[in-house]
Chain A
Amino acid sequence: MTTYDKRTIEELIDGSIDFFKLKEMLSNFKDANRFNLYLEILQERVPWDDKILLPAGLHLYIVQKQNGDRVTKCDCGHEFGHYKQNWKLNALVYVRDTEAKMEELYPKYLAPDPNWQVIREYYCPGCGTQLEVEAVTPFYPVIMDFEPDIDAFYEEWLGQPVPEPAGIK
């Protein structure tokens, strides 16, 4: 059975992993314990105590608050509300809908035409990190990318209980 030590997964998260080790990881069978090890590392790295249930993106986590609420949270500590609501609605949005705004990103002729497509950048109000980008037609409803079934994942797929809120024994 494939297993990796904590250091290897840390290197993977940091992007400092050796190319050949990464290649072997891609080709090999998956390590069943990856999720728990990954979560342990992420939990150590965040500056808050809420229990991470599931990483929801780069810098984003679905966490369990002490009162049992599940919210989407940035690693800077900013909270975006209940995890079943689209976190983007509580983010900051910047819409690139003119040629000038597009050409800040792409050289002329390499940018989408804003009459056909706009670029929406979603920022964390707490730290200003760009968390997601949408390239959509004008009027497109904000996309809810991710709606995980956390309970089924833990209980039925991992065969382990959903973690209790931090501080509750």
Chain B
Amino acid sequence: MSLKEEDLKRIKVKKGIGWDGKPLKEMREEIDRISLTTGHYAGLKELTFKEADPIRYEKIFSKLRGGVVHARETAKKVAASPIVEQEGELCFTVYTPEADSIVTSTGIIIHVGTMGAAIKYMIKNDYEENPGIEPGDIFCNNDCQIGNVHPCDVHTIVPIFWEDELVGWVGGVTHVIDVGATAPGSMTVGPVTRYDDGYQVACRKIGKNDTLLRDWVIESQRSVRTTKYWLLDERTRIAGCHMIRDLIHNIIAEEGIDTYKQFIREVIEDGRRGFINQVKSMTIPGRYRGVSFVDVPYKNLEVPPYAKVDTIMHAPSEMIIHRDGKFEIDFEGVNRWGWHSYNATPVSISSGIWVMMSQTLIPNDRVNDGAYYASQFGLPYGSWLSPDDIRTAHSYAWHFLVSAWSPLWRALSRTYFARGYLEEVNAGNANTSNWLQGGGFNQYGENHAVNSFEAAAEGTGANAVKDGLDHAAAIWNPEGDMGDMEIWEMAEPLLYLGRSIKPNTGGYGKYRGGCGYETLRMVWGAKDWTMFFMGNGYMSSDCGLMGGYPAASGYRFEAHGTNIKELIEKKLPIPLGGDPDPGNPEYEKLIEAKEIQRDKQAITTETIFENYDLYLNYLKGGPGFGDPLERQTKKVEEDLNGGYLLPDYAEKVYGAVIEQDEKGRWIVDSEKTEKRRAEIRQERIKRGKLTREWIKEERQNVLNKKAALPVLHMYASSFSLSERFLNEFRDFWNLPKDWIINESELDMPTFGSINKLK
């Protein structure tokens, strides 16, 4: 069949928007191919520009990085949400036309990769053809399976053109307060499927000529609870993106387009080389292993029947540092995704690891895709970090992610310790919970949702030289803080009845983990209001290092139908301050209530709260380092007098012999303590069993599967995904070749567990 001349005329050869008229898809394929075959980003064996004119190269980098940070600082003032304005939960990143990141701002830098994944999705799906990519366009994404951590991180993405060529992209992200999920709050617990997760925007063109489309504004305003905050968050992202677009136009005008193009290639290759150099100068080649867990106590929650399962997240990790400096992290053995809100995506874990690395191995401003090109990740398909089912929910993916990263701190710390870089050692990061969330009609009579970012100030892990920081930071935002109480009281119909250090929450050790803190909140002025808890309760998600203990696990305290109104009217005492020893509660002695929950169920779904009801928000501590018996007695004394340690545990854990002086100050008797510690060491030798012998005894329990259901379920769902993990498990316990735990043999729903060992 031949085409008529008229038809040929109608087929217009459309020029691509990429460099030299190439379509973006072709550019993406080209960069992947060349980088893979040469081992250098974009095939750059030499950094000709950097080597020829290093000052100019650095000047461009500084302008770009400074401009991106400046845009973040300026744009965040547009937002009204305390999550963005107080906590700094935003980030901006500049990308190449192919969506490789060049430079990122401070803030929630996990998104250095997520927005890149969203742009790659648009390239792959021919957005260049339809809906078109033009100067002045604005795109939006929050779809996790495309490129995101959880739906409340909303991306605004703007293409940057120079003349008729696309020279890059800029992406901005903010953590919004609400995305219209099944329950209020940005990271709600209710969702067990994608369809409960809230408003999903899948790489959609939402603006033209730098103006938001009206249908988008209307639809988005009708899809979320906190409309005002949503609108201002969006303005924040757009303002930042446009500032950065102007910045890049200025740099190109000053330096020339060819220089800019060369620069963005070299800066990524430079990042790749820099990362390898850093690995070689700070670590030791070899294999490092760790594991972490998170309890998922869903059996008694108000969720669909197939989600009513008590189970455990399993995240074993092996960090492999190759002789050539290549860096690999393998999560083989990780278990299956689940019907809960904590599933993650490959880009969220690989990109998120850079959040962590920027706080340890690469603590500088050169975080870009160069490091990604120098690394390799093993993320088993079908697991919670790479689900094989589009239905999965992700509203609080961080719950699992932060816990999965904690062993990586320990892996890196072992290398730092061995090389003598003791100042870099960190025993791990806290599980960044509890999250106080909820919503309803607030004190202003508005439909509202809250997510208290007090969780941005957890205890940090202990160091090999000093204690972790108390109530100081969260791994996902190195710049976060706990926020001012006055601001939270304006944003939430919850009065503060206390905010204090939580003793015994940092893992004990020669150097202890930083302690967490707690705030007691009383509902006040709400018209109708629900809240829920979200944290670890039955398990601790971290582990100590080199003899230190894990941080304390969680619990919940809530009181409903209290008599606090009457107590206030009668000027009688009410609960104020913390709950320092939860096994010996004081609050209950002061109040009467229709219902009090004090238990390990630290994850709940929506519960109705009336005015004068109480909610305790307890934020976790970090893990400890070294044998607690080596802690300086002076430090134990400071802990006791500072409210970081209860006296019983100074004796039991630290072996301290203590007494109080006439003013009530604790004093540790160093001489008697040394004697007591020597006795404890002997007691340990007496009570310890040779591990090899213990394994023989424990083997019988393994053979008989004598463990709680959540534990068995965790193993079953790991075995179903990984033959290697199963075989290693059998080898370790010397089990028969056909020994296995199958989900089908457990008395619990197995809905959706399609992955069976072949």
CB nearest to B635 among chain A residues: A15
What sequence of 0s and 1s flags, for each residue 15-53 of chain A, a beta carbon within 8 Å of any chain B beta carbon? 101010010011000101011011100000000000000
Does A141 sit at the interface, judged by CB under 8 A?
A: yes
Does A168 sit at the interface, judged by CB under 8 A?
A: no
* A109 to B323 alpha-carbon distance, docked (Å): 46
Knowing A56-B418, A146-B288, the reply to whether A92 touches B549 (Cβ < 8 A) is no
Cβ–Cβ < 8 Å partners of B285 in chain A: 148-149, 152-153, 156-157
Cβ–Cβ < 8 Å partners of A35 in chain B: 419-420
Q: Which of B457-486 contact A (CB under 8 A)?
A: 464-466
* A22 to B422 alpha-carbon distance, docked (Å): 10
* A146 to B413 alpha-carbon distance, docked (Å): 11
CB nearest to A87 among chain B residues: B691
Of B187-195, B392-400, B701-709, which binds chain A? B701-709
B678 to chain A, nearest CB (A): 9
Knowing A135-B550, A139-B715, the reply to whether A146 touches B685 (Cβ < 8 A) is no
Q: Is the CB of B547 within 8 A of A117?
A: no
Does B690 sit at the interface, judged by CB under 8 A?
A: yes
B745 to chain A, nearest CB (A): 16
* A167 to B33 alpha-carbon distance, docked (Å): 54
* A15 to B509 alpha-carbon distance, docked (Å): 13
* A52 to B510 alpha-carbon distance, docked (Å): 23
Does A166 sit at the interface, judged by CB under 8 A?
A: no
Does A88 sit at the interface, judged by CB under 8 A?
A: yes
Q: Is the CB of A25 within 8 A of B583?
A: no
Q: Is the CB of B685 within 8 A of A125?
A: yes
Does B293 sit at the interface, judged by CB under 8 A?
A: yes
Knowing A56-B418, A145-B290, the reply to whether A108 touches B582 (Cβ < 8 A) is yes
CB nearest to A57 among chain B residues: B546
Does A91 sit at the interface, judged by CB under 8 A?
A: yes
Does A89 sit at the interface, judged by CB under 8 A?
A: yes
* A133 to B539 alpha-carbon distance, docked (Å): 15
Task: Identify B691's interface contact among A88, A107, A109, CB under 8 A.
Answer: A88
Q: Is the CB of B694 within 8 A of A30?
A: no
A160 to chain B, nearest CB (A): 14
Q: Is the CB of A130 within 8 A of B627?
A: yes
Q: Is the CB of B546 within 8 A of A92?
A: no
Q: Which of A110-169 contact B (CB under 8 A)?
A: 110-113, 115-117, 119, 121-123, 125, 127-149, 152-153, 156-157
Q: Is the CB of A112 within 8 A of B539?
A: yes
Q: Is the CB of A92 within 8 A of B711?
A: no
* A119 to B281 alpha-carbon distance, docked (Å): 34
Does B77 sit at the interface, judged by CB under 8 A?
A: no
Cβ–Cβ < 8 Å partners of A13 in chain B: 422
Task: Identify A112's interface contact among B540, B649, B653, B685, CB under 8 A.
Answer: B540
Does B598 sit at the interface, judged by CB under 8 A?
A: yes
* A6 to B625 alpha-carbon distance, docked (Å): 24
B520 to chain A, nearest CB (A): 15
CB nearest to B502 among chain A residues: A110
CB nearest to A37 among chain B residues: B420
Knowing A54-B284, A58-B546, A119-B549, the reply to whether A130 touches B628 (Cβ < 8 A) is yes
* A13 to B681 alpha-carbon distance, docked (Å): 23
CB nearest to B698 among chain A residues: A139
Does B573 sit at the interface, judged by CB under 8 A?
A: no
Does B644 sit at the interface, judged by CB under 8 A?
A: no
Does B280 sit at the interface, judged by CB under 8 A?
A: yes
User: Which of B288, B314, B701 gathers the greatest number of chain A CB atoms within 10 Å?
Assistant: B288
A117 to chain B, nearest CB (A): 4
Does A90 sit at the interface, judged by CB under 8 A?
A: yes
Cβ–Cβ < 8 Å partners of A134 in chain B: 543
Does B269 sit at the interface, judged by CB under 8 A?
A: no
Cβ–Cβ < 8 Å partners of B508 in chain A: 105
Cβ–Cβ < 8 Å partners of A26 in chain B: 363, 423-424
Cβ–Cβ < 8 Å partners of B538 in chain A: 112-113, 115-117
Q: Is the CB of A107 within 8 A of B281?
A: no
Q: Is the CB of B295 within 8 A of A116?
A: yes
Q: Is the CB of A15 within 8 A of B465?
A: yes
Cβ–Cβ < 8 Å partners of A157 in chain B: 280, 284-285
Q: Which of B704-740 contact A (CB under 8 A)?
A: 707-708, 710-711, 714-715, 728-729, 732-733
Q: Is the CB of A90 within 8 A of B691?
A: yes
Task: Identify B286's interface contact among A37, A138, A146, CB under 8 A.
Answer: A146
Does B214 sit at the interface, judged by CB under 8 A?
A: no
Cβ–Cβ < 8 Å partners of B239 in chain A: none
Q: Is the CB of A128 within 8 A of B681?
A: yes
Q: Is the CB of B692 within 8 A of A89?
A: yes
Task: Identify A15's interface contact among B286, B421, B466, B690, CB under 8 A.
Answer: B466
B411 to chain A, nearest CB (A): 8
Cβ–Cβ < 8 Å partners of B312 in chain A: 116, 137
Knowing A57-B546, A92-B691, the reply to whether A138 touches B552 (Cβ < 8 A) is no
Does A5 sit at the interface, judged by CB under 8 A?
A: no
Q: Which of B584-641 contact A (CB under 8 A)?
A: 584, 598-600, 625-629
B198 to chain A, nearest CB (A): 30
CB nearest to A131 among chain B residues: B547
B722 to chain A, nearest CB (A): 13
CB nearest to A33 among chain B residues: B420
* A38 to B537 alpha-carbon distance, docked (Å): 41
Q: Which of B341-371 contact A (CB under 8 A)?
A: 363
Q: Is the CB of A106 within 8 A of B504?
A: yes
CB nearest to B699 among chain A residues: A139
B732 to chain A, nearest CB (A): 4
B676 to chain A, nearest CB (A): 13
Q: Is the CB of B684 within 8 A of A136?
A: no
Task: Identify A30's interface contact among B421, B510, B548, B710, CB under 8 A.
Answer: B421
User: Which of A32, A57, A58 gathers the greatest number of chain B CB atoms within 10 Å?
Assistant: A58
Q: Is the CB of A38 within 8 A of B420?
A: yes
* A157 to B422 alpha-carbon distance, docked (Å): 19
Does B234 sit at the interface, judged by CB under 8 A?
A: no
Q: Is the CB of B689 within 8 A of A94?
A: yes
Does B695 sit at the interface, judged by CB under 8 A?
A: yes
Cβ–Cβ < 8 Å partners of A89 in chain B: 691-692, 695
Cβ–Cβ < 8 Å partners of A34 in chain B: 419-421
Does B230 sit at the interface, judged by CB under 8 A?
A: no
Knowing A93-B691, A145-B414, the reply to whether A130 touches B291 (Cβ < 8 A) is no
Cβ–Cβ < 8 Å partners of B537 in chain A: 113
Q: Is the CB of A127 within 8 A of B681?
A: yes
Q: Is the CB of B281 within 8 A of A115?
A: no
| A contacts, CB < 8 Å to B | 9, 12-13, 15, 17, 19, 22, 25-26, 30, 32, 34-35, 37-39, 54-59, 88-95, 103-113, 115-117, 119, 121-123, 125, 127-149, 152-153, 156-157
Taking A116-B312, A152-B323 as known contacts, 15 extra A-B pairs with beta carbons closer than 8 A to each other, sorted by chain A number, are A57-B414, A58-B625, A90-B690, A92-B689, A95-B694, A125-B688, A128-B680, A131-B546, A135-B540, A139-B702, A141-B733, A148-B284, A149-B286, A152-B285, A153-B286
Closest 5 A/B residue pairs (Cβ): A92-B688, A108-B583, A38-B420, A128-B681, A148-B286
